[in-house]
Copies of this chain bind each other. A is one copy, B any other.
Amino acid sequence: MQNLLPIGRFSKMTRLSVKALRHYDELGLLAPAVVDPFSGYRYYTYSQANRAEAIRILRGLDVPLEDVRELLASEDPEIAGKLLRMHRGRLEERLERDRRMLAFIERLIERKEGVMPYEVQVKEVPAQDVAIVRRRASLATIGKEISEGFAELGEAVGRAGVPMAGPPFLVMPEVIDEETDGDIELAFPLAAPFAGAGEVRGEHVPATTVAWTVHRGPYDEVGPAYHTLTGWIQEHGHEIAGPPREIYLTDPGETPDPADHLTEIQFPIR
């Protein structure tokens, strides 16, 4: 029974691959007790197997090698605990993310039509009286701005006693993306002209020709509807003649399930 193990035997003992052991040597994470200076052969002692075992267990938990090094170097169980808790945090995040992805993919499988078949049509939107409020929004705050804006509109229009003449809509004159925020306009179609009040102004919107389609489902999956419309417009030789509108056909109060929400998207065209 020799007291030094070549890498192959040590590999079997510790159930770490030879490649992994050489890698750990290179990183200085688990250097062999002896390296023959002539042949370069690595030789390990039995007592190194514990460290190897610890590495194997931690790697089995997906702890990064850098953390493994620190964990094994830290005498203080305080520090080790902190590192482990940090890793627990990482695992929990991944778990949560995987759960969300799983739920999402279930939905994708459920409604098999992976890409929704949007039907694009052209129509005339008649002129109408509207109440409009303008707000500045970023991608992060847009949801809040929309609901606040509609509340403000409802209040102003209600006080003025002007009846509504259709579902509320939104006009997006500027592109809003990750890093640029922009103005949005929220509007209520009205049965009669509205004078305006505070931030809310009344306006008469002229008739326009639009290309439109309807998106059924949660609002944050509305992207493809936009792309389909802009693509359709381009391919059919039209030209975009103004900012797009979103018309919220369903009232979230009446239709609580986001999967049944209907949003009409319109692009004015020439």
Tell whether A113 is near chain B: CB-to-CB under 8 Å.
Answer: yes
* In contact, B88 and A98 (Cβ under 8 angstroms): no
Tell whether A85 is near chain B: CB-to-CB under 8 Å.
Answer: yes
Tell whether A223 is near chain B: CB-to-CB under 8 Å.
Answer: yes
* In contact, A234 and B15 (Cβ under 8 angstroms): no
Which residues of chain B are within 8 angstroms of A106 by Cβ–Cβ distance? 88
Which residue of the partner chain B has the closest CB to A104? B61
Tell whether A123 is near chain B: CB-to-CB under 8 Å.
Answer: no
Question: Bound complex: CA of A47 vs CA of B48, how far in Å?
Answer: 61
Q: 0/1 per residue, A40-77, Cβ < 8 Å to B?
A: 00000111111011100000111000000001000001
Q: Which residues of A contact B (CB under 8 A)?
A: 1, 3, 12-13, 15, 45-50, 52-54, 60-62, 71, 77, 80-81, 84-85, 87-88, 91-92, 94-95, 98-99, 101-102, 104-106, 108-109, 112-115, 175, 177-178, 223-224, 226-228, 230-235, 239-240
Given contacts A84-B108, A85-B109, A87-B105, 11 further A-B contacts (CB under 8 A): A13-B177, A46-B234, A49-B227, A50-B228, A53-B224, A61-B104, A77-B113, A80-B114, A84-B105, A92-B102, A95-B95
18 contacts between A and B (CB under 8 A): A1-B240, A13-B227, A46-B234, A47-B227, A47-B228, A49-B230, A50-B115, A61-B101, A61-B104, A61-B108, A80-B112, A81-B112, A84-B105, A84-B108, A84-B114, A88-B106, A91-B105, A95-B102
